[in-house]
Each structure stands twice: as structure tokens, then as C-alpha cells.
């Protein structure tokens, strides 16, 4: 990373504390221990704090996916909701998360307390999990889903900014790739656990939902005990109002170029729900349809960390172009190659493009903004891409209804190609700043 984004990460003493390397000490002398920044002990060159944040994400994703993989069916079969109601619930939930991220990110810049905000978000999400098995009406589920997404919004931007703060110089791509890989492992194991537990409990939704409570509270405990704010060797500039026009302009042209490319990119990769619809259209049995996301997330998890590490040694935009090319290919395969072979290849390519791009985009944000505005930067980034995902999914649904699945995936290929053209014509300054870390 550039020197601008690493203020305060160079001063930690390379001592080895008596507990697990890099984990937050639990005793009263916590303030005397080394931080989890660039100088802390680590596995494979990354501080243990980043591993801990990845494991926190993984545990919460296992819990969430165990519930969300079954929730649409539970709402319609168990609580009598309509398909329209399910769509409204999901739309409101995701919009809430996107909006909340802006304010939580700005607040983390204002207070400098990124861990506290991230922990509050995970704690709030954990508290909502018991509501799902206890809910006796649709209203309770809507409320729990809403508060759960508020928790996601609160934790998202501060957590990403904390990963950037903890990452050693020149290793931001690997740091975000690792966190994304562990997070995606949760999305891989969650649906598998849901399928197995539904078989074990004879299709008892509530029993599965109760089991899902356990990893959620484990995630909350882990972030409280095993993650610390990194010490800063130099005080950061005080930010009075991170969301003011003056501060937003300080984010710089390179950052807004990353956001613009990510927004167009997101228009190309609409919700994974359309992969499930494609599987259903292909003739996959209903009980096996969750395996679509399991397969996609397996490829995603396996590719995200290596791709992130590679971005630290070569141009991030070049890797992003490669990911866009794979997305174009995935859309074409899903549109034109029939049957289960086409579905399988398309899903694998979709997961590979996610692995090659998502962690890299997050690392590019860290490299292009001042450290004191990282929370705000991730908040705005998540808001813009969240709105783009909502628009993309609405457009994909309209195309699907009017012209069929082929038109939907071909349109996605077109947006991916447009995004690639945008990357190619961006000024050289953007490639210099957001490419290979210094």
C-alpha cells in the first residue's frame, strides 16, 4: 500500500506475547501488549487479528446462511407468506444494510473506534437469531430480518476499515482475500448444514434455526476477545464531519473511479438468486437446489485468498479485468450451454470471478483513500454497490419475465464488457495508485 494509507502501523514492537500470536490479551495488562498491526506475530505474514476477523465473518455467515437458505420456504410454507412478501422483506433488508453502512463507516472515522462498532453490529445480529425459531407470525420475522440487516450495516464498513488498518504494508490484497475466503467458507458450510439438519430433524425448521444461534454468538465472543484496534504511531487528522462535501472530495478521483467501476461491475453480476432460478429451469430437484450456492461458494472461497495475495505483487486492475472476462464467459455459458453441464460450468466460473474481484476491489479502496477516511470510503462504496445490485436484480427479473433466462445472462455479459472498457480507458494515475501495492 502507499504510505498514505499506512500511517500508524509501523510502530509496533515485534514481541511475542504469551498467548496465541496476535490475539487480544485477556488480562489486565492488555494495554502493554503489542498490537495486531504490521509488526504483530502472524500466520503466513498476516496478523492474527485479520485471521480472527475472517473467522468471525465465517461463523456469522454459517449462522446466517443456515437460516437464509430455508427462510423463503419457511415464510411461504410455515407462515403463509406470499412470494411478493418474501421479495419485499429481502428488498427492505438489503436496502437497510446498505444505508446503515454509510453512517457506521463515517462514525468509525469520527471516533476512531472501529472494533467497537464492528462488535456492536455482530452482537446485534446475534441477538436476532433466536427470534426466527420463536417467531409465531410474519411480523416477528420481518422485524428480526430488519434488525439483523441493521447489524450487518453497522459492522460492514468499520470491519473492512479495521482489516485495512491491521494489514501489513504491501499485504492489503492478501488480507482482504483471506477475510473474503473465510467469509465465503461460511456461505459454503451454512447451506450444507441446513440441508443435513433438515434431514436429521425431519424437516423441522425451528430446530435448525435454534442450532444456527450457536455460531452467531460464537462470532460475537470471538471479536470481543480476539481482535484489538491497532496502535497508531502517528495521530491521524481529526475529521469533524466525514460525510461533508469537503471530506468526500478528499477521497480523491482514484477512489471514485473504483466506486464507478464497481457499480457497473455489480450491474453485471446481479443476485445469485438467478443462478438458483436457472438451476430450477434446468430441472434440478428442489431439495438439491441449495447445492448451487454451495458449489459457487466453494470456488469463490478457494480463489479469493490467492487472488488477493497476487494483487499485492501485480496490477489490481489487470486482475480485475481477468475477473470481468471470466464473468462474461460465465454469463455466455449460462445463457447458451444447455443442461446440467452448462449449469455446472457456469456456476464454477461465476464463483471464480467473485474470488478474483471482490477482495481486490476492497483492497483497491484501502489503497486510494486517506487512513482517517477509510470507514467513510467503505460505507459509500457499499451504498453505491448495494443500490447497483438492487437495480441489477430488478432489471434481471424484468428481463427474465419478458424475454427469458437467456436474455438475462446475455445482458449481464454486456454490462461486464462495458465495465471492462471503463477499466481500460481510466487514466494512468488510477492504475498507479490502485494497482500493485507499494
Q: What is the pLDDT of residues 63-116, one digit of tens each?
A: 998 888 777 677 766 777 665 566 566 666 767 777 788 888 888 877 778 899
Q: Helices then strands (H, E): number in the chain?
A: 17, 2
Q: What is the mean pLDDT of the chain?
A: 77
When pLDDT is cut at 50, 70 and 90, the band that residue 224 belongs to is very high
What average pLDDT score do residues 147-170 get?
84
Are the C-beta atoms of residues 75 and 85 closer than 8 Å to each other?
yes
Closest CA to 335 of 321, 322, 317, 349: 349
CA 254 to chain centre: 22
Closest CA to 38 of 67, 1, 65: 1
CA atoms within 13 Å, Cβ hemisphere of 260: 14
Q: What is the CATH number of domain 3-434?
A: 1.20.1250.20
Q: Which has the higher per-residue pLDDT, 2 or 72? A: 72
Are the C-beta atoms of residues 412 and 270 closer than 8 Å to each other?
yes
pLDDT tens-digit map of 26-61: 333 333 343 444 444 334 677 888 899 999 999 999
Task: Report the alpha-carbon distance of residue 193 to residue 186 in Å, rounded.
Answer: 10
Q: Is the pLDDT of residue 14 over 70?
A: no
When pLDDT is cut at 50, 70 and 90, the band that residue 166 belongs to is confident
**Phi and psi at residue 47, to the nearest 5°:** -60, 150
In sequence order, which residues have a C-beta less than 8 Å from that of residue 383 and are 6 or more positions away?
Answer: 98, 99, 101, 102
- Residue for grid cell 500466520: 43
Task: Report the alpha-carbon distance of residue 330 to residue 415 in Å, rounded.
Answer: 13
Which segments of 251-290 does DSSP mark as H helices, in order?
253-268, 273-282
Lowest mean pLDDT among 20-29, 72-81, 292-301: 20-29
**Phi and psi at residue 158, to the nearest 5°:** -60, -35
3-state secondary structure labels for all residues of 124-160: HHHHHCCHHHHCCCHHHHHHHHHHHHHHHHHHHHHHH
Task: Report the alpha-carbon distance of residue 70 to residue 133 in Å, rounded.
Answer: 12
Q: Is the pLDDT of residue 275 over 50?
A: yes
pLDDT tens-digit map of 346-396: 999 999 988 888 777 777 887 788 878 888 888 888 888 878 877 777 788
pLDDT tens-digit map of 171-220: 777 788 788 788 888 888 998 898 888 888 888 888 999 999 999 999 99
Closest CA to 353 of 254, 290, 419, 430: 419
C-alpha cell of 210?
435454534
- Farthest CA pair distance, the chain: 65
Residue 431: its pLDDT value, please? 52
Residue 314: its pLDDT value, please? 67
What average pLDDT score do residues 134-151 get?
85
Amino acid at each position: 500500500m502507499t504510505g498514505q494509507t499506512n500511517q500508524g502501523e509501523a510502530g509496533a514492537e515485534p514481541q511475542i506475547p504469551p498467548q496465541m500470536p496476535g490475539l487480544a490479551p485477556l488480562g489486565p495488562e492488555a494495554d502493554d501488549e503489542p498490537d495486531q498491526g504490521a509488526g504483530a506475530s502472524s500466520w503466513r505474514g498476516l496478523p492474527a487479528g485479520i485471521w480472527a476477523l475472517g473467522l468471525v465473518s465465517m461463523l456469522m455467515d454459517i449462522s446466517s446462511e443456515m437460516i437464509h437458505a430455508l427462510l423463503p420456504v419457511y415464510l411461504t410454507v410455515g407462515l403463509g407468506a406470499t412470494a411478493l412478501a418474501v421479495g419485499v422483506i429481502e428488498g427492505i433488508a438489503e436496502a437497510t444494510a446498505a444505508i446503515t453502512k454509510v453512517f457506521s463507516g463515517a462514525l468509525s472515522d469520527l471516533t476512531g473506534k472501529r472494533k467497537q462498532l464492528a462488535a456492536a453490529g455482530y452482537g446485534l445480529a446475534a441477538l436476532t437469531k433466536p427470534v426466527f425459531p420463536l417467531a409465531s407470525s410474519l411480523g416477528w420475522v420481518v422485524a428480526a430480518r430488519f434488525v439483523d440487516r441493521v447489524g450487518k450495516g453497522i459492522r460492514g464498513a468499520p470491519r473492512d476499515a479495521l482489516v485495512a488498518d491491521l494489514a501489513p504494508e504491501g499485504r492489503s490484497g492478501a488480507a482482504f482475500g483471506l477475510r473474503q475466503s473465510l467469509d465465503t467458507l461460511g456461505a459454503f458450510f451454512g447451506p450444507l448444514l441446513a440441508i443435513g439438519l433438515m434431514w436429521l430433524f425431519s424437516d423441522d425448521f425451528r430446530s435448525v434455526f435454534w442450532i444456527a444461534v450457536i455460531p452467531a454468538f460464537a462470532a460475537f465472543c470471538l471479536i470481543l476477545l480476539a481482535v484489538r484496534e491497532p496502535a497508531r504511531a502517528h495521530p491521524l487528522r481529526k475529521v469533524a464531519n466525514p460525510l461533508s462535501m469537503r471530506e468526500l472530495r478528499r477521497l480523491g478521483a482514484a477512489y471514485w473511479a473504483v466506486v464507478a467501476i464497481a457499480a457497473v461491475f455489480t450491474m453485471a453480476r446481479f443476485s445469485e438468486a438467478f443462478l438458483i432460478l436457472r438451476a430450477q429451469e434446468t430441472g434440478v430437484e428442489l431439495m438439491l437446489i441449495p447445492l448451487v450456492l454451495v458449489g459457487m461458494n466453494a470456488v469463490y472461497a478457494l480463489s479469493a485468498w490467492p487472488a488477493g495475495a497476487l494483487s499485492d505483487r501485480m496490477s489490481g486492475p489487470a486482475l480485475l479485468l481477468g475477473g470481468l472476462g471470466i464473468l462474461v464467459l460465465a454469463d455466455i455459458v449460462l445463457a447458451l450451454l444447455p443442461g446440467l453441464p452448462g449449469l455446472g460450468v457456469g456456476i464454477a466460473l461465476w464463483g471464480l470471478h467473485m474470488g478474483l474481484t471482490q477482495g481486490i476491489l476492497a483492497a483497491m479502496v484501502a489503497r486510494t483513500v486517506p487512513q482517517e477516511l477509510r470507514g467513510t470510503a467503505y460505507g459509500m462504496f457499499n451504498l453505491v454497490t448495494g443500490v447497483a445490485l438492487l437495480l441489477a436484480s430488478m432489471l434481471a427479473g424484468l428481463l427474465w419475465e419478458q424475454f427469458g433466462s437467456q436474455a438475462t445472462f446475455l445482458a449481464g455479459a454486456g454490462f461486464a464488457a462495458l465495465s471492462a472498457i471503463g477499466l481500460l480507458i481510466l487514466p494512468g494515475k488510477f492504475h498507479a495508485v490502485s494497482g500493485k501495492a507499494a
